[in-house]
Amino acid sequence: MADFKSYPVSGFTNQKVDIGRLTQEINNSSISVALNSIVEFNGICSVYFKADLLSEDIDILDSIIAVHLGEPLEKIIPPRTFDNKEIIRSDSRPLGTSTYFTCAGDDTEIGNGKDVFWDFSNDDDISSAPEGYKRKTIDFSFAEDIFIKEGSFYFFDTLKGSYGQMAVMCPAGHYYYNRDGSLNQATEDIPIIKFVNKHFFAGSCPMGDELNAEGAQESPLPPNYFIRLEITVPESDIISFGWVSLEIYRARTILLPGESL
């Protein structure tokens, strides 16, 4: 066994090596030993590792070398302003999106969908609940990709023991990824991400109970998914009400003349 292996550059497919691409190919492989460095000198490419390679690691390395084309990695061009200054950003808002605060989803237009509002003086949106409690379930969605950032709960005259939960849902018939990366079709509406779990509140909070996050979700919520809000209160509650305001990022916040969803 050895902690490095050398190959003549003339033996590569295109008789050339790109160290950056080869490094990526090795790091993305199943070789069990960490790469140390790659050196090309006098027509020889030497690949160094941090420990001795196993025989199966050598086989994998040989197969990587056999198909390496020597083409450089695509250069990432940083975004620039209209006057060609490089943009340096530290916030989580994806380029091309705007910050959007809302208490409603989308329907036929942006923002005219289901209101994220509950009122226990009526029976709207009532769903099943644990014994001794009652619950309202509010499903709302957006017509375009969105990135969830933060949100606030506003509530009034709420009894002790009340709580809220929010989850990203995959609708029945649509697809989601299992933990192992395989694709699965949902046979019913199922939660994919629960981003608020049993958030207790009581009394009134007209200024809003903020739920702060360091950054937005990494991947956008696709339009065929939806968000489910569940508000659970003691059975005796007949007066409390409230709403949720979400901060999200999206490409369009309003439809201009001639545009449609």
Q: Residue 88's pLDDT is what? A: 67
Q: Are 55 and 111 in the same domain?
A: no
Would 74 be classed as within a structural domain? no
Q: Are 124 and 204 in the same domain?
A: yes
Q: Residue 99's pLDDT is what? A: 95
Q: Residue 70's pLDDT is what? A: 92
Three-class DSSP labels, the chain: CCCEEEEEHHHCCCCCCCHHHHHHHHHCCCCCCCEEEEEEECCEEEEEECCCCCHHHHHHHHHHHHHCCCCCCCCCCCCECCCCCECCCCCCCCCCCEEEEECECCCCCCCCCCECEEECCCCCCEECCCCCEEEEEEEECCCCCEEEEEEEEEEEEEEEEEEEEEEEEECCCCEEECCCCCEEECCCCEEEEEEEEEEEEEEEEEEEEEECCCCCCCCCECCCCEEEEEEEEECCCCCCEEEEEEEEEECCCCCCCCCCC
Q: Residue 89's pLDDT is what? A: 66
Instruction: Give the CB-side neighbour count of residue 98, counting CA atoms within 13 A.
Output: 7
Q: Residue 38's pLDDT is what? A: 92
**pLDDT average per 10 residues of sequence, the chain (261 residues):** 84 92 93 90 90 90 94 77 72 87 95 97 96 98 93 97 96 87 89 95 96 87 92 98 96 90 81
Report helix angle 55-67 to 19-27, nearest 10: 140
User: What amino acid occupies position 213?
Assistant: A
Would 34 be classed as within a structural domain? yes
Domain that holds residue 103: 98-250
Would 197 be classed as within a structural domain? yes
Q: Are 22 and 114 in the same domain?
A: no
Q: Residue 159's pLDDT is what? A: 98
Q: Are 163 and 213 in the same domain?
A: yes
Number of domains in the chain: 2
Q: Residue 76's pLDDT is what? A: 67
Task: Compute the distance between CA of residue 183 and CA of residue 4 in angstroms, rounded to an integer.
Answer: 39
Q: Are 106 and 202 in the same domain?
A: yes
- Distance from CA of residue 195 to its chain's centroid? 11
Q: Which two tokens stand for residue 87?
A: 């943009």
Where a domain ends, among 67, 86, 120?
67
Q: Residue 85's pLDDT is what? A: 77
Task: Compute the distance between CA of residue 100 and CA of residue 97 in angstroms, rounded to an integer.
Answer: 9
Is the pTM higher than 0.95? The answer reads no
Would 261 be classed as within a structural domain? no
Contact 49, 33 (CB under 8 A): yes
Q: Are 48 and 123 in the same domain?
A: no
Q: Report the alpha-carbon angle 185-103-99, nearest 5.
A: 85
Q: Residue 4's pLDDT is what? A: 87
